[in-house]
Amino acid sequence: MKLVVLAGLVLVLGTSNSWADGDAVKGEQVAKACAACHSFVDKANKVGPSLLGIAGRKPGTAEGYNYSDPFKTYAATFAAWDDAALDAWLKDPRTVVKGTKMAFAGVKDDATRADLIAYLKSKN
């Protein structure tokens, strides 16, 4: 029994999440599509909130941005944007929050999403 538990731990600890292995340089290229609606270089909001410093930030707190009510409800459910939350949101924001103002369909490719998350984290 101990061997089974140990083997399970090795599998869990030995597997990495896709977002942990992202390439920020590649992610910067992906983020260019996001820059039409989001800023990465200052706290100025555009159509969407500034994403400068998003990693670790409480969701729904970009100063001066008017979030939708469904997003405010979602944002109240967790303390900060971590890798897992960013990954889920970037994969399919309209499924995560029905009624979000974000019209973007999401980044379906795991590696591309990991790169984008690495870039977002580099902007803190």
Query: In the Cβ-directed half-sphere of 26, how many Cα atoms lie within 13 Å?
Result: 11
Q: Mean pLDDT across the chain, nearest whole number?
A: 87
Q: Kindly report the CATH class assigned to 18-122.
A: mainly alpha
Q: Domain extents for the chain?
A: 18-122
Within 8 A by CB and 6+ apart from 58, the residues are 75, 79, 80, 81
- Residue in the structure block whose two tokens are 């405010």: 72
Under a CB-based contact definition with an 8 Å cutoff, are residues 29 and 123 in contact? no
Length of the chain equals 124
> In this model, does residue 1 exceed pLDDT 60?
no
Output the pTM of the full model.
0.82
DSSP 8-state class, residue 97: S
Predicted confidence (pLDDT) per residue in 2-17, tens digit: 333 333 333 333 334 4
